[in-house]
């Protein structure tokens, strides 16, 4: 049995294999509510053969969306729209489905990738933003308002309310988005957190609010599901968040009952210097897993089956998360199974495409065998 296709228990969730599908923003919601695009997008990925499908970053309040077109889960209308999408996806696949709960902080109210860049002005649908400190992400962006304790309590409660809605919809996994320069990672990073109160300065203080949010969600999230946090392994910027700090934070998350962490990086400071390549963030996940003992998912150019297999087999991470690779090849897990000698059952409607029934399949897969 290939390690990549071995089962894994994450909290109360039993996964059939170690391949997960990362949350990927689609910028196709209306008023935070999902549309027909999300039905098609998620249903396609649900037929991939992966062990877990995670819905894109979903704003816990309107001002927490990255763009006006982001999905949200703050209202009954949002919940009803997501319920409709889930009904249709579950009708075609038994894959466990999760969601990423997020607040964009100072990177909120920005244009979707194909409509512009930078902050959306008020007259075009933008809004005021919040952050630990009144420091914009980059020159020309909105200057966020430094959060008061009342703001922090409101954001914490919004995460809890969204988690309750997600649990009510039967989602099996929730990932709290504490990475990529969004609100929680700006509390964690010394580059963006300039506070002088108990929520700024030392690592213990910078972790305080994110841990308060995580603990509050843990208190309402079902034990039979899984709860994880996406964290940065590095800011890729001098003076920023480090792998060592990520390890300390992961231990703290483990201690308050989190079931796992996904280790990513970047997005806090535009001066970041990232040398992207296959598995370029794996060392962060490996370090966090080693020092914290918490189940760990790695991301970042996981491209080929043998690369993913080596990651799991060598104990560098427990799970791999695919993003652009699985958008490019929505049957990546089935193709990986063939390369690694695993007989993964296709949906009956697609069974004729299994290379064991169709000689052309192995010819198409030749490029995946390296």
When pLDDT is cut at 50, 70 and 90, the band that residue 326 belongs to is very high
Residue 355 has pLDDT above 80, yes or no: yes
Distance separating alpha carbons of residues 63 and 299, to the nearest angstrom:
27
Distance separating alpha carbons of residues 222 and 7, to the nearest angstrom:
21
Out of 263-267, 308-312, 359-363, least confident range: 359-363
- Predicted confidence at residue 363, as pLDDT, reads 80
User: What mean pLDDT comes out for the span 178-200?
Assistant: 98
Residue 132 has pLDDT above 60, yes or no: yes
Domains contained in the chain, number:
1
Residue 369 has pLDDT above 80, yes or no: no
- Predicted confidence at residue 370, as pLDDT, reads 45
When pLDDT is cut at 50, 70 and 90, the band that residue 185 belongs to is very high
Residue 182 annotated among the catalytic residues of the structure = yes
User: What mean pLDDT comes out for the span 89-93?
Assistant: 98
User: What mean pLDDT comes out for the span 294-321?
Assistant: 97
Give the chain's mean pLDDT.
Answer: 96
Distance separating alpha carbons of residues 29 and 90, to the nearest angstrom:
20
User: What mean pLDDT comes out for the span 251-278?
Assistant: 95
Residue 368 has pLDDT above 60, yes or no: no
Q: What are phi and psi of 149, to 5 degrees?
A: -60, -35
Integer CA distances (angstroms), 294 to 168, 204, 261, in order: 26, 19, 7
CATH number of the CATH domain containing 135: 3.20.20.70
- Predicted confidence at residue 160, as pLDDT, reads 99
pLDDT tens string 334-346: 999 999 999 999 9
Task: Supply the DSSP string of 74-126, one letter for each residue.
Answer: SSHHHHHHHHHHHHHHHTT----EEEEEE--GGG-SB--TTT-SSBPPGGGT-
Distance separating alpha carbons of residues 55 and 96, to the nearest angstrom:
11
Burial 298-318 (b: 16+ CB within 10 A, else e): bbbbbbbbbbbbebbeeebbb
- Predicted confidence at residue 359, as pLDDT, reads 79
Look up the domain containing 140 and give its range: 3-368
- Predicted confidence at residue 367, as pLDDT, reads 57
When pLDDT is cut at 50, 70 and 90, the band that residue 364 belongs to is confident
User: What mean pLDDT comes out for the span 42-49?
Assistant: 98
Apex 20 CA angle, 60 and 5, nearest 5: 160
Which region, left, alpha or beta, applies to residue 303 given φ > 0 means left and ψ of -120 to 50 means alpha? alpha
- Predicted confidence at residue 84, as pLDDT, reads 98
Catalytic residue among 182, 199, 280, 350: 182
Distance separating alpha carbons of residues 146 and 130, to the nearest angstrom:
6
User: What mean pLDDT comes out for the span 274-300?
Assistant: 96
What pTM did the predictor assign? Answer: 0.96
Q: Which helix (H) or strand (E) holds 13?
A: strand 13-15
Apex 100 CA angle, 200 and 93, nearest 5: 165
- Predicted confidence at residue 321, as pLDDT, reads 98
């Amino acid at each position: 049995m290939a390690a990549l296709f071995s089962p894994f228990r994450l909290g109360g969730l039993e996964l059939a294999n170690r391949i997960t599908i990362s949350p990927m923003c689609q910028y196709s919601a209306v008023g935070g509510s999902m549309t027909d695009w999300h039905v098609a997008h998620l249903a396609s990925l649900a037929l991939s053969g992966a062990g877990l499908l995670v819905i894109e970053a979903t704003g816990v309040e309107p001002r927490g969306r990255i763009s006006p077109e982001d999905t949200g889960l703050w209202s009954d209308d949002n919940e009803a729209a997501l319920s409709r999408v889930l009904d249709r996806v579950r009708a075609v696949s038994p894959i466990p489905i999760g969601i990423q709960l997020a607040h964009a902080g100072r990177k909120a109210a920005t244009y979707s990738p194909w409509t512009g860049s930078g902050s959306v002005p008020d007259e075009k649908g933008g809004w005021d933003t919040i952050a630990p400190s009144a420091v914009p992400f980059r020159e020309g962006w909105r200057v966020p308002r430094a959060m008061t304790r009342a703001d922090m309590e409101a954001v914490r409660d919004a995460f809890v309310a969204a988690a309750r809605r997600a649990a009510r919809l039967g989602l099996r996994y929730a990932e709290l988005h504490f990475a990529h320069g969004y609100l929680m990672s700006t509390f964690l990073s010394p580059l963006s957190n300039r506070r002088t109160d108990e929520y700024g300065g030392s690592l213990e203080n910078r972790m305080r609010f994110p841990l308060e949010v995580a603990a509050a969600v843990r208190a309402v999230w079902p034990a039979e599901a899984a709860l994880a946090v996406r964290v940065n392994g590095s800011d890729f910027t001098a003076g920023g968040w480090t792998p060592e700090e990520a390890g300390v934070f992961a231990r703290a998350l483990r201690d308050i009952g989190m079931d796992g962490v996904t280790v990513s990086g970047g997005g806090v400071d535009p001066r970041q210097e990232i040398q992207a390549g296959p598995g370029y963030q794996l060392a962060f996940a490996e370090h966090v897993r080693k020092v914290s003992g918490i189940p760990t998912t790695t991301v970042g150019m996981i491209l080929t089956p043998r690369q993913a297999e080596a990651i799991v087999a060598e104990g560098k991470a427990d799970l791999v998360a695919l993003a652009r690779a699985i958008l490019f090849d929505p049957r990546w897990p089935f193709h990986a199974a063939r390369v690694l000698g695993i007989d993964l059952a296709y949906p009956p409607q697609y069974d004729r495409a299994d290379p064991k029934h169709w000689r052309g399949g192995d010819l198409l897969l030749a490029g995946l065998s390296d």
